[in-house]
């Protein structure tokens, strides 16, 4: 167990090491306890407009029981948090945010709700925010996840494609099941009421399912090219710099209307000064904080950026990393140098994801 975002979290289970656990999720099926994440409901006649003010996503065009990755932005276009938003009905949304940003997010929601509900925009109907305190969240991930879960339900899981969700009967429980996850594999995130969490976790962790901890979760998400808040994203990083421009809706790119729009739209038009990139590093792995320089043998060694996440990839057998680099140096195939243990190592900019995802798209 390790401290993480104010919680005590399992890094690994029993004598199954991080790499073995990683491989098991890639080839079979693992279960992650992600109940530390903050689950919320937003409801009200103007809930869509409210969340479209807080994020740059097109939520009005989202179909019921469909999800999108999004970002909460501050006035400067910086990312307060990344989030998954699921539309349940025209005026009801289920939102999952990060545990490490709980205080900042909840305070931001409260402040903005007060502004919204007391102003002109909320007069058509106030928005309510409910935090699902104590609810469990379990992520069943891996190529065998669907066949295992299908054995526990009469619901045809083939109908549930990546990025959609449904309330699914599972052995007498009626649970919110979203197809997706944070590993690059097919899988499901299952929200569970507090009184049922232990029982459902026991049900979902029978063989062949193996419990998986934070260690494997980190290496799986980095291979899949996914950001970790606090490492790869923060309040000084915009979605354009982070390579997340795709979360910005087409009409939002034209009309704005969201907090931080001025800076974000300017960057979309003119390009940002730095960009998130993937790297393959020779020799030894580069970790968070490692500096990225001009290539080895370059006349004048100057710093171009910094690594934000890095590991030896268990699946690929290479040292992979993610970081930010000056625009102009961000093209794939570009050679740079990364400082690891006071020595410059050759690195090559590589497109992400490093590992091709296996999502179920029907």
Share of the chain above pLDDT 70, in %: 100
pLDDT tens for each residue of 283-301: 999 999 999 999 998 888 8
pLDDT at 40: 98
pLDDT at 121: 86
pLDDT at 300: 84
pLDDT at 304: 98
- Domains defined for the chain, CATH in brackets: 2-35+135-224 (3.30.1360.120), 38-131 (3.30.70.1400), 274-350 (2.40.30.110)
pLDDT at 352: 98
Element (H, E) at 322: strand 319-326
Q: How far apart are CA 75 and CA 219, in angstroms?
A: 32
pLDDT at 297: 86
189 is in an annotated binding site: yes
* Residue 114 burial (C-beta neighbours within 10 Å; 0-12, 13-18, 19+): exposed
Q: Which residues of the chain have pLDDT under 70?
A: none
């Amino acid at each position: 167990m390790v401290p993480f975002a104010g919680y005590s979290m399992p890094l690994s289970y029993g004598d199954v090491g991080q790499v073995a656990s990683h491989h098991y999720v890639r080839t079979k099926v693992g279960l992650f306890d992600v109940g530390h994440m903050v689950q919320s409901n937003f409801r009200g006649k103007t809930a869509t407009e409210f969340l479209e003010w807080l994020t740059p996503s097109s939520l009005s065009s989202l179909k019921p029981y469909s999800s999108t990755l999004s970002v909460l932005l501050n006035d400067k276009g910086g990312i307060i948090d990344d989030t998954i938003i699921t539309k349940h009905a025209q005026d009801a949304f289920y939102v999952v945010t990060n545990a490490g940003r709980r205080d900042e997010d909840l305070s931001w929601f409260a402040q903005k709700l007060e502004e919204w509900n007391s102003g002109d925009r909320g007069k058509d109907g106030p928005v309510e925010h409910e935090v699902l305190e104590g609810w469990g969240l379990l992520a069943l991930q891996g190529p065998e996840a669907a066949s295992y879960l299908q054995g526990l339900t009469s619901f045809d899981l083939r109908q549930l494609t990546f990025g959609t969700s449904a309330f699914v009967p599972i052995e007498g429980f009626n649970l919110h099941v979203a197809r997706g996850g944070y590993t690059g594999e097919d899988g499901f995130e299952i929200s569970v009421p507090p009184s049922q969490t232990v029982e459902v976790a026991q049900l979902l962790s029978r063989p062949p399912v193996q419990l998986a901890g934070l260690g494997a979760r980190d290496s799986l998400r980095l291979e899949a090219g996914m950001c970790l808040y606090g490492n790869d994203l923060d309040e000084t990083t915009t979605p354009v710099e982070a390579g997340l421009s795709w979360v910005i809706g087409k009409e939002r790119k034209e009309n704005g209307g969201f907090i931080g729009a001025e800076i974000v739209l300017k960057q979309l038009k003119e390009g940002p000064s730095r960009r998130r990139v993937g790297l393959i590093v020779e020799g030894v792995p580069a970790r968070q904080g490692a500096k990225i320089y001009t290539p080895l043998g370059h006349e004048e060694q100057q710093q171009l950026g910094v690594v934000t996440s890095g590991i030896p990839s268990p699946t690929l057998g290479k040292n992979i990393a993610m970081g930010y680099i000056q625009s102009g140096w961000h093209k794939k195939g570009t050679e740079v140098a990364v400082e690891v243990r006071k020595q410059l190592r050759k690195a090559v900019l590589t497109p992400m994801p490093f590992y091709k995802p296996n999502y179920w798209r029907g």
